[in-house]
A and B are shown apart, each in its own frame.
Chain A
Amino acid sequence: MVTILAAILTIALILAAVLFGGLIPQGLPPEAYLDRFGQSPGKIFLFLGLDDIYRTKGFLLLGVLLFGQLLFCTGKRIALLRGNSKLWVAGSVLLHVGLLVFLVSTAVSLWWGKSLMIEAPEGRLVTLTKQGLPFDIRLERFLIEYYPDSHAVRQYRSEVTLLREGRELRRGSLEVNSPLDHEGAKIFQMSYGWMLEGTIKQLPEGPDQPFAIVNGGWFSAGKQDDRLRGIIMVDSDKHPSVKQEAAFLLLSATGDRKAAVLSPGTTAELGNLEIRLEQIRRYSGLQVKQDPGIAGIFAGLSLSLIGLMLRYAPLGGKKSI
């Protein structure tokens, strides 16, 4: 009875922690919490790691505690199973064994899993083997499929070549909801966008500095930390709607603003900077993931579901364990 009380308390504490994270937005920049709670309380909040409560040692400890209690309860249930062949007892055992498998696999996933987000431009090799993944990727082609008579995207797909030490391993394609699997690593289609590539030079005699601006982002440029923004020009009446032109906006450290529209291969002077747009490339946002725990996670969850079904199948099952 004490064990189950402890288990309920642990679940209640996990519930409280999850509720905390559900009510206070997690993962915001530190300044957001300082603004919200004030300097001193905000610093204490950040010190305790409450801005990322699900990764605090306390939350992990609750998971370990739950695992220990589950292990103990499962042992008791297995002992009970020996003298009781009723379906609901077997269901209860299966349910708890499934949860144990799930928790162990989650730990395996957290410790040994690897995941990398990449923005792969068409035709360029992205090296992943240095990060411990089993292959490098070259995006051969990226395709967007639209609904008929609409600008709404129906599907997007990447055609890739996987390589190791320059040697081609395989070619394949992947799309949203349909990852590509190779040697235990999966490639997921996450997003897509446009990338502006070119060079920037401090006038009159500065060196050419390459830049790559992704999806209308900012680039710090020049000696005085000027900020350059590049935005793809869109013609919403056409398919594809992206034009081969980009607008650049320079915000200088002194507060001056200058703008220019460039097409690939052209140059413009913005203040004391010379900007050359080399190309507008489409990129595919991919996630490459190697997770040795994932099969166990889903096996554990499936076992638990079957166990739950058996546990309550004869709802009249009077006794409870």
Chain B
Amino acid sequence: MIQWETILLLLVFVVYVGATISFSLRYWIKSNRLIAAGLLLTGAAFSLHSGLLLVRGLAAGRLPFSNLYEFTLVFGWVTLLLFVACAIRFRLLATAPLALSLVTLLIGVAAMMPRDIRHLMPALRSSWLQSHVASGILAYGALAVSAVLAVVMLTRSEEKDEATETGWAVRYWNMPAAIELERYVHGLIVFGFFFLSVLMVTGAVWAEETWGRWWGWDPKEIWALITWLIYLVYLHGRNRFGWRGQATAWFSAVGFAAVMFTLFGVTYLLPGLHSYK
């Protein structure tokens, strides 16, 4: 089973790289076949990625939610799923190179982590594990997509480009204007912020049950709070002062940097009770 997992992991990485290259080349070579190839490779990578999670789950005999390797794999999977949903709904396929680069990076980082299947320690044997981790994955996935769109937004003008595409690419490849992207970024941040809040509340309930304290200023808790506060300032600023444009894009990017530090930086640099490597 472990061998299958290694082969699948390598395949997933390679096919994601292929999809990223295919979509990226479309910026230089105006052929719609490249978009079709990118879509095909993304579909294949996603199927393989799903298979990888299934294999991992079967080998572990549980949902793949219990260490950083498993979390990173599921995080990448949900990020892609949310991105594809947004790309179809809001016609954002032109942002695919950046989104796929991020997912590929996550798979690459996961591939460098230890993959041995370990028994769950007593603290993790709780019904709260699933809801806590699932809300974290949904939050991080949405915030990842929001950051991708925010970075694209920083390169865009307020006005939509004149349509230069031909064929079916007209509908999906033309890049939205910054103002539209900002709306999508906000929607994704709201979604992510809600699940970030669920993540913190379920974590507090679980910590109270396991460690006898709902909050302990553990490095992971501190950085989760920092992330939450960054997005809280963003939401208040946008709602009350009408913050729009580049400032909100920077908030999204900084917020996602905090997400990444909470996930990887804290785990490796600031060990605490949450260091489930």
Residues of A within 8 A of B (CB): 1, 4-5, 7-8, 11-12, 14-15, 18-19, 21-22, 25-26, 54, 115, 147, 150, 152-156, 175-179, 186, 188, 190, 287, 289, 294, 297-298, 301-302, 304-305, 308-309, 312, 315, 320-321
- A21-B187 CB under 8 A given contacts A304-B197, A305-B201: no
Which chain B residues in 155-205 approach chain A with CB under 8 Å? 187, 190, 193-194, 197-198, 201, 204-205
Which chain A positions have C-beta within 8 A of B233? 8, 11-12, 15
User: Nearest residue in A to B123 (C-beta to C-beta)?
Assistant: A176
Jot down 15 A-B pairs with beta carbons below 8 A, ordered by A.
A8-B237, A8-B240, A11-B232, A14-B229, A15-B226, A22-B270, A115-B212, A147-B119, A152-B118, A176-B123, A177-B125, A179-B212, A188-B212, A190-B212, A304-B197
Besides A5-B241, A301-B204, 20 other CB < 8 A contacts? Answer: A4-B240, A7-B236, A8-B233, A11-B232, A11-B233, A11-B236, A18-B225, A19-B226, A21-B217, A22-B219, A26-B217, A152-B118, A175-B122, A176-B125, A177-B210, A188-B212, A298-B204, A301-B201, A315-B187, A315-B190
Bound CA span A96–B42, Å: 43
Q: Is the Cβ of B190 less than 8 Å from the Cβ of A11?
A: no
For A151, the closest partner residue in chain B by CB is B119
Given contacts A4-B240, A175-B122, A177-B125, contact A18 B229 (CB under 8 A): yes
Taken together as a complex, chains A and B put the C-alpha atoms of A5 and B213 apart, in Å, by: 33
**A175–B187 Cα gap in the complex (Å)?**
42
Tell me, yes or no, whether B223 is within 8 Å of chain A by CB.
Answer: yes
Q: In the assembled complex, how far is the CB of residue B95 from the closest CB belonging to chain A, in whole angstroms?
A: 20
Please indicate the chain B residues that have their CB under 8 angstroms from the CB of A294 in the complex: 208, 214
State the CA gap A23–B236 with chains docked (Å): 25
- A287 partner residues in chain B, CB cutoff 8 A: 211-212
- Please give the residue numbers on chain B whose beta carbons come within 8 Å of chain A beta carbons, in ascending order: 118-119, 121-123, 125-126, 187, 190, 193-194, 197-198, 201, 204-205, 208-214, 217, 219, 222-223, 225-226, 229-230, 232-233, 236-237, 239-241, 270
- Cα–Cα distance between A18 and B121 once the two chains are bound (Å): 30
B240 near A298: Cβ-Cβ < 8 Å: no
Assembly CA distance A115 to B212 (angstroms): 9
Query: Which residues on the B side are within 8 Å of A302 (C-beta)?
Result: 201
Contact status B229-A154, CB under 8 Å: no
**Do B209 and A179 touch (CB < 8 A)?**
yes
Contacts of A12 in B (CB 8 A): 233
Chain B residue with Cβ nearest A152: B119
- Residues of B near A177 (CB, < 8 A) are 122-123, 125-126, 209-210
Query: How many Å lie between the Cα of A229 and that of B254 in the bound state?
Result: 49
In the complex, what residue of chain A is closest to B232 when comparing beta carbons? Answer: A11
Q: Are A11 and B214 in contact (CB under 8 A)?
A: no
Instruction: Say whether B119 contacts A155, CB under 8 Å.
Output: no
Cα separation A188 to B214 with both chains bound (whole Å)? 13
A4-B240, A8-B233, A297-B214 are known contacts. Are A150 and B119 too (CB-CB below 8 A)? Answer: yes
Q: Are A155 and B122 in contact (CB under 8 A)?
A: yes
How far is it, in angstroms, between the C-alpha of A304 and the C-alpha of B209 when the chains are bound?
A: 21
**In angstroms, how far is the closest chain B Cβ from the Cβ of A191?**
10
Query: Inside 8 A of B212's CB, which chain A residues have their CB?
Result: 115, 179, 186, 188, 190, 287, 289
Closest Cβ–Cβ distance, residue A73 to chain B (whole Å): 10
- Cα–Cα distance between A19 and B226 once the two chains are bound (Å): 6
Name the residue of chain B whose CB is nearest to the CB of A178. B209
Contacts of B223 in A (CB 8 A): 22
Q: Which residues of A contact B122 (CB under 8 A)?
A: 153-156, 175-177
Instruction: Give B224 Cβ to nearest chain A Cβ, in Å.
Output: 10
Partner pick for B190 among A150, A175, A190, A312, CB 8 A cutoff? A312
A114 CB to closest chain B CB (Å) equals 12
Closest-CB distance, B132 to chain A (whole angstroms): 12
Please report the C-alpha to C-alpha distance between residue A315 and residue B94 in the assembled complex, in whole angstroms: 25
Q: Which residues of B contact A15 (CB under 8 A)?
A: 226, 229-230, 233
Q: List residues of chain A with CB within 8 A of the CB of B204.
A: 297-298, 301
